[in-house]
Amino acid sequence: MVLSRGWSLFLVGVGVWTWVIWPRFAVAIWNDTRAWSAGVVGQGDPTGFLWVHALLIAASLAIGTTTGVLGVRGLLATRRAARTR
């Protein structure tokens, strides 16, 4: 299957967007007092709040990376198809 150039660019954009948004969210979660058992950032044990959000962030980054890679592969396939015509 060959993706159109537009869809490939969209997928690359989703991958980039994911890497712009989720790391910032990770910093916000890390700095949230609910993430730490002592109620102070970085002190005490990590709480379920931190672990659940860490899992969500990791999964989102993995999905975003995969989406971006598929978009890049689609762009490369489109370029190869244009050269063979």
Q: Residue 19 has which token pair?
A: 């890497």
pTM for the model: 0.87
pLDDT above 90 (res 8): yes
pLDDT digits (tens, 9 = 90+) for 21-40: 999 999 999 999 999 999 99
Interval 35-50 mean pLDDT: 96
User: 13-51 as b/e, with b when 16 or more CB fall inside 10 Å?
Assistant: eebeebeeebeeebeebeeeeebbeeeeeeeeeebeebe
Beta bridge partners of 46: 36
SS3 80: helix
> Quick one: which of 69, 80, 31 has its CA closest to 53?
31
Taken as a whole, the chain contains a residue count of 85
Interval 30-56 mean pLDDT: 96
What is the average pLDDT value for the chain, to the nearest integer? 95
Q: pLDDT band at residue 14, thresholds of 50, 70 and 90?
A: very high
